[in-house]
Amino acid sequence: MTKVELDYVDELFEKARVAQAVYAKSTQEQLDKAARACAKAVYDNAEMFAKEDLEETGMGRYESKIIRNLNGPKAQWYYTKDKKSTGIIGWEKGKLDTDCIVKIAKPVGVVAGVSPVTNPVQNMASNGMQALKCGNAIIFCPHPKAKNVSNHAVEIIRKAIAATGAPADIVQIVENPSIEYTGEVMKRADAIVATGGPGMVYAAAASGTPSMGVGQGNCQAVIDYGMTDKLEEITNGILENRTYDGGILCTGEQTVFAPEVDKAKILKDFDQNGALILNDEESAAKLRNTLFIDREGRRAPNPAYVGKTVQEIGAAIGLDVPENKAAIVAVVNSYAEAEDLCREKLCPVIALYAYSGTFEDAVAMAKANLIMEGAGHSSDVYSNDKDHQIHAGLELPVCRLVVNNNNFFAGGGQYNTGLVPTSGLGCGFWGRNTIRENLNFEHLLNYTRMVYTVDGVKVPTDEEIWG
């Protein structure tokens, strides 16, 4: 980096450190006001930011972006708002039967927030809220293709938090982002919340700074035998999720494994629920050669079709796709490395593999797809057999396996699951992440545990230990 660029980063961190030192002394009420203001600033301007996002990136759907900008901050603040995040949190028992540990929460410091082009605004609202809840400062590194809407969002967020009495510089942004700027900010930060594909995950890990967030998705949907009467409900849910925001969500189902005996029925249901069916190899070949390109020694999504409509994709492969179709379902006969369409497709395209073997065979094929791409993220299983559900849970290398529902639930945005609402889905060691659960404010805290000795605890004998 040039001296001018390094000086710019120096200035960002100097302002962040000064502001955070003041902000860290805030009461819980003051922290909550600033955190709420960050999330509410995007919620209150959801339509404006959705419009700006779509105009700048050209990806996704306006209506979906409005919903995302509304529901993400809302659900996450509802979970976060009444919880303690500073000072003495309370007593813990540890390994004993009595309270003997005092848990004290303290800020991490300055967080690097790396936002993706596929979700620039809501990601900042949510991750900014989590950081501010804990007394941290955050410096956002937006994607270069979303810098204008990102800068505008941070401008409004800064005004909102300043109105609560918090220093505005606890939220800053790299105004003219680049890979070099992002790398330097990540290297200097105390923690990283990074959302992006494998390249971003590796860059965050290589920075030397603890990183949290999401890796590449490639969600698999495995449908068991005996689900025939529920196929229409299943296909409708998958399509609803897969077409949301132009198919750019990392939680969208990429490959569906369905029994061969149900193939005709599931194709009919997909068709009736709004999908164009490609059931021939010639069309599948054109589709895979359009959607994927060689990049840095691997097959990767063609950026020209990320978030595009199936009408635009259809035109590229010589098909006139009716306006009432919102997705493409391509029947494939291979999986894993042998079939590019079983990779993550950042557009509303689904691969369907009809299996004739056992349910366990289908799970093994889904596992092979995940090992190829997307291990650690999430998948679905549709089965009425509890043992089959558990088998999928034991076999699939994912941190979230959604049972009998579409993978939108993996994002934690729903109120009727036990998952924490989030914008960062930890992918565990499979995805080179330091967390495996849904990111929340507790991941952006340091904890001191005051340990008290308990009188009268019996020391076990060697026989009791080893016997």
Q: In this structure, what token pair is assigned to residue 368? A: 């092979």
Q: How far is CA 233 from the centre of its chain?
A: 25
90, containing H or E segment: strand 87-92
Instruction: Give CA–CA dist 109/131, Å, rounded.
Output: 9
Q: In this structure, what token pair is assigned to residue 427? A: 């992918």
Backbone torsions φ then ψ of 391, nearest 5 degrees: -60, -45
Going from the C-alpha of 338 to that of each of 130, 343, 417, 424, the distances in angstroms are: 41, 10, 35, 30
Active-site residue, from 38, 141, 219, 250: 250
Give me the residue label for tokens 């396996």: 401
Query: 161-179 in b/e burial notation, b at 16+ Cβ within 10 A?
Result: bbebebbbbbbbbbeebee
Q: In this structure, what token pair is assigned to residue 51? A: 């419009």
Please say whether the beta carbons of 99 and 91 come within 8 A: yes
User: What single string gives the DSSP state of each residue in 189-252?
Assistant: SSEEEEESSHHHHHHHHHTTS-EEEE----EEEEEPTT-GGGHHHHHHHHHHHHHGGGGT-TTS
Q: What is residue 403's three-state secondary structure? A: strand
Spatial neighbors of 224 by CB under 8 A, at least 6 apart, are: 259, 359, 362, 381, 382, 383, 384, 385, 388
Report the 10 Å Cβ neighbour count for 350.
24
Q: Pairing relation of β-strands 87-92 and 101-107? A: antiparallel
Instruction: Give CA–CA dist 464/467, Å, rounded.
Output: 5
Look at residues 305, 281, 284 and name the one whose alpha carbon lies nearest to residue 293: 305
Look at residues 198, 152, 164 and name the one whose alpha carbon lies nearest to residue 55: 152
Among this protein's residues, is 250 annotated catalytic?
Answer: yes
Instruction: Give CA–CA dist 7/94, Å, rounded.
Output: 46
Catalytic residues: 250
